[in-house]
Amino acid sequence: MKKLFKIPLVLEPQKEGGWTITSPLLPELITEVDDIKQLDEVVRDAISAVVELYEDTGKEFPPDLIADGIKSSVLFESLVFTGT
């Protein structure tokens, strides 16, 4: 079953190009992306891997990061691409 998460992300540009993506609340989440247009896909894969790691090790996933059934507004920032 798919779950909805609200996870803060930090995108750090790399000198050689691309971005390193981490989360201050999930230290296990570390990934990279060369093309920022692939950010959503890369982050989904990384979060899935972290969830699987937590399940395999029996570690509790922080419940405040699970947004399933949320009934209030959620503030998030988004990167929007226009033009070429």
Angle at 37 between CA 81 and CA 78, to 5 degrees: 55
Could you tell me if residue 61 is inside a domain? yes
Residue 2, pLDDT above cutoff 80: no
* Within a domain: 23: yes
Residue 4 lies in a domain: no
pLDDT of residue 59: 94
Residue-wise pLDDT for 17-76, tens only, equals: 999 999 999 999 999 999 988 999 999 999 999 999 999 999 998 888 887 777 777 777
What is the model's pTM? Answer: 0.79
Give the total number of structural domains in the chain. 1
Measured on CA atoms in the order 4, 25, 15, 77, is the torsion positive or negative?
A: positive
Let me know if residue 83 belongs to a domain: no
Average pLDDT over residues 76-83: 71
